[in-house]
Amino acid sequence: MKIVFYGAGNMASAIFIGMIENKVVKPEDIYLTSKSQKEKIKFFQDKLGVNISYDDSELLKNADYVILASKPQSFPDVAKRLRPYLEEATKIISVMAGTQIKTIRRELKSDNPIARLMPNTNAMVQHSVSGISYSENFPDKDELVELMESFGTTVVVEEDAMHNITAATGSGSAFLYYIYEKYAESLMELGFDENEAMFLTTNLVIGAGKMVEDSDLSFSQLRKNITSKRGTTEAGLDALDGEGIKSILMTTLNAAANRSEELSQDD
Ligand SMILES: NC(=O)C1=CN([C@@H]2O[C@H](COP(=O)(O)OP(=O)(O)OC[C@H]3O[C@@H](n4cnc5c(N)ncnc54)[C@H](O)[C@@H]3O)[C@@H](O)[C@H]2O)C=CC1
Ligand SMILES: O=C(O)[C@@H]1CCC=N1
């Protein structure tokens, strides 16, 4: 198997590190190229044993998969590199937010099989939840799902649903990290110093994550188990509802999904 990553930034590296750590793909099957991060990909070569190259003809020769992992705005440059050497049977997997299959096809000027994948950086710890949608001519879907499940779970969706998946889980962990950041800052306002605030928040997040993973209870039941009648938790939750937590989250998710739609119209 030969898997070539065009782009070796935050998302690509989470994917290939996740794949390698799970031993589904051998480091020697992975090829990296980039534009801006030459030292970083040298580091990946030395640390992980993956291949690196800037020669598109060498990269694309007998490639089974090409992963498009640049920013959407850089895709025209990436397409220019791919066009002369792309072989017919190579499957194209794009993680770019908002870039539609028809745009990828148009820029590559090819009928290659294309799938869009919307993963998240939890791939690095094999916990991405990734949306997948396929072009009509995509063969071996099972092989792709198996590969993508080496770094988490997958859901197959129609391409239109990618905007919502991008908001919900592509961007979703950033929304949660931001809440943790603000939680730690609020603890500092309560009077904890920075180290204490970080220690308390980090352990709270890890503990809550483990409870979600290990317990069969719903989020709502886990919350109820902490909430005493007329107690401290009830007071805090009433304040959170009073501030409109649900509507804040809806505004957040709608803004992200709308941006994905806008990116698809830039095509
Ligand atoms: N960061 C995330 O959590 C997620 C990102 N994505 C998508 O992944 C893509 C990459 O995002 P990040 O990894 O965060 O960006 P990044 O800025 O960390 O990495 C971009 C990579 O593209 C490379 N690149 C740019 N022009 C190139 C060219 N002409 N040839 C080869 N490589 C080129 C850069 O050198 C760099 O390695 C974006 O399209 C984004 O929508 C999708 C899901 C989650
Ligand atoms: O912010 C972005 O556009 C990308 C897509 C999903 C997560 N990061």
Is the pLDDT at 89 greater than 90, yes or no? yes
Is the pLDDT at 266 greater than 80, yes or no? no
Beta carbon of 184 within 6 Å of any ligand 1 atom = no
pLDDT for the residue numbered 36: 85
Q: How far apart are CA 99 and CA 94, in angstroms?
A: 8
- Ligand 1, atom 16: closest residue by C-alpha: 9
Beta carbon of 59 within 6 Å of any ligand 1 atom = no
Confidence grade of residue 171 (pLDDT, cut at 50, 70, 90) = very high
Beta carbon of 40 within 6 Å of any ligand 1 atom = no
Q: For residues 170-198, give the mean pLDDT.
A: 98
Confidence grade of residue 92 (pLDDT, cut at 50, 70, 90) = very high
Say which residue, 95 or 37, is predicted with more confidence.
95
CA atoms within 13 A on the CB side of 63: 28
In this structure, which ligand is nearest to the CA of 123? 1
Mutation choice for ligand 2 from 171, 260, 266, CB with most ligand atoms inside 8 A: 171
Beta carbon of 77 within 6 Å of any ligand 1 atom = yes
Confidence grade of residue 197 (pLDDT, cut at 50, 70, 90) = very high
In CATH, what class is 3-166?
A: alpha beta
In this structure, which ligand is nearest to the CA of 172? 2
Q: Please state, for a pLDDT cut of 90, what percent of the chain lies above it.
A: 96
Q: What integer best gives the mean pLDDT of the chain?
A: 96
Helix axis angle for 38-48 and 10-21, nearest 10°, is 0
What's the CA-to-centroid distance between 179 and ligand 1, angstroms?
A: 24
* Nearest partner of 11 among 27, 34, 29, judged by Cα: 34
Q: Three-state SS across 120-144?
A: CHHHHHCCEEEEEEECCCCCCHHHH
CATH 3.40.50.720 domain position(s) in the chain: 3-166
- Ligand 1, atom 32: closest residue by C-alpha: 34
Is the pLDDT at 137 greater than 80, yes or no? yes
Confidence grade of residue 38 (pLDDT, cut at 50, 70, 90) = confident
3-state SS assignment for residue 16: helix
Give the binding-site residues of ligand 2, using a 6 Å CB cut-off.
97, 166, 170-171
CATH topology of domain 172-262: ProC C-terminal domain-like fold (1.10.3730)
3-state SS assignment for residue 53: coil
Q: For residues 116-134, give the mean pLDDT.
A: 96
Q: How far apart are CA 70 and CA 110, in angstroms?
A: 19
The backbone torsions φ and ψ at residue 114, rounded to the nearest 5 degrees and listed phi first, read -130, 140
Beta carbon of 27 within 6 Å of any ligand 1 atom = no
Q: For residues 229-258, give the mean pLDDT.
A: 98
Q: How far apart are CA 15 and CA 96, in angstroms?
A: 13
User: What is the predicted ipTM?
Assistant: 0.99
What's the CA-to-centroid distance between 40 and ligand 2, angstroms?
A: 21
CATH 1.10.3730.10 domain position(s) in the chain: 172-262
Mutation choice for ligand 1 from 4, 11, 56, CB with most ligand atoms inside 8 A: 11
Which segment, 121-125, 146-150, 205-209, is predicted with the most confidence on average?
205-209
Q: Please state, for a pLDDT cut of 70, what percent of the chain lies above it.
A: 99
Mutation choice for ligand 2 from 11, 13, 122, CB with most ligand atoms inside 8 A: 11
pTM as predicted:
0.95
Is the pLDDT at 97 greater than 70, yes or no? yes
Mutation choice for ligand 1 from 6, 10, 124, 178, CB with most ligand atoms inside 8 A: 10
What's the CA-to-centroid distance between 264 and ligand 2, angstroms?
A: 13
* Nearest partner of 136 among 153, 159, 106, judged by Cα: 159
pLDDT for the residue numbered 37: 81
40: exposed, middle or buried (Cβ count in 10 Å: 0-12, 13-18, 19+):
middle
The encoded tokens of residue 10 equal: 């935050």
Torsion sign over Cα 94, 95, 99, 100: positive
pLDDT for the residue numbered 51: 98
Is the pLDDT at 267 greater than 60, yes or no? no
